[in-house]
């Protein structure tokens, strides 16, 4: 099993920041950044699971739901990575970088 502790912590931290952000900050782009990240994490999980095209796209459920959407997508990807074992290490590291980068773009 692959250790996803760092990835899990990054996703939870960004999700918590999105959840605590005021509506104005969410509407200024933080929510859009969070949704884009959730969608990308979801796509990566689906690809690793071997899903056929077209991949499902996470819907836009509004600015107040994006923190939960990110958390769900992150947990899904983490589970797929854990099952993938050592072969998923590069994907895990790329996902950590993706979350950190998205957090910076969102202003966190």
* pLDDT digit string, tens, across residues 31-86: 999 999 999 999 999 999 998 889 999 999 999 999 999 999 999 999 999 999 89
Output the pLDDT for position 52: 85
Output the pLDDT for position 91: 96
d(CA 45, CA 66): 18
- The token duo for 51 is 């899903």
Assess whether pLDDT exceeds 90 at residue 95: yes
Break the chain into its structural domains and give their ranges: 5-105
d(CA 57, CA 45): 12
Output the pLDDT for position 51: 87
d(CA 100, CA 11): 9
Output the pLDDT for position 53: 84
CA dist 39 to 6, 17, 92, Å? 20, 18, 16
H helices of 5-88, where?
5-20, 23-25, 31-49, 66-84
């Amino acid at each position: 099993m692959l250790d996803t502790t760092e990835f899990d912590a990054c996703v939870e931290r960004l999700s918590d920041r999105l959840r605590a952000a005021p509506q104005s900050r969410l509407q200024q782009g933080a929510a859009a950044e969070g949704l884009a990240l959730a969608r990308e994490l979801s796509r990566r999980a689906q690809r690793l699971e071997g899903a056929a095209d077209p991949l499902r796209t996470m819907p836009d459920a509004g600015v107040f739901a994006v923190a939960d959407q990110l958390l769900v997508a992150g947990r899904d990807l983490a589970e797929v990575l854990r099952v993938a074992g050592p072969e998923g290490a590069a994907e895990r590291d790329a996902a950590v970088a993706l979350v950190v980068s998205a957090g910076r773009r969102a202003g966190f």
